[in-house]
Amino acid sequence: MVKEQAKYIRKLSGEEALKRYILVVRESLKLFPSPGTMFTLKIGDKKIEAEVTLIEVWNQGGSKPSTEYHIDLSHHPDVFRPHYGQKVTLTRKKDTLYELN
């Protein structure tokens, strides 16, 4: 019996494409290592180190910040060139190895 691979699929917003990150919705956090834990991300034929980062976001009218989870790839412009509306798929290959398509 073949074990199904865990996948996270997302269509990038304009802000995500501009700032070069992938938003991870709270319901999908279980597919990734806990925030702050490094993992290997394979993009094409290159492998980079990445992590899910907790970001506090102040919304208009809010008395305290809400939280978002990002995979920040802004330091890797040579391997991650996103655009608005691009569909990205993150597939877990092993415990700490993920592939981005």
**What are the helix and strand counts (H, E) for the chain?**
1, 7
Q: Please, which residues have CB within 8 angstroms of residue 88's CB and are 6 or more apart in sequence? A: 9, 10, 11, 12, 22, 82, 100, 101
Strands of the 87-94 sheet, one edge to the other: 7-11, 87-94, 97-100, 38-43, 46-57, 66-72, 21-24
The string of pLDDT tens digits covering residues 83-95 is: 999 999 999 998 8
- For the chain, the farthest-separated pair of C-alpha atoms sits apart, in whole angstroms, at 51
The residue type at 6: A
Summarize pLDDT for 8-50 with one digit per residue, the tens.
Answer: 999 999 999 999 999 999 999 999 999 999 999 999 999 999 9
Residues 52/35, Cβ–Cβ less than 8 Å? yes
The pTM score is 0.89
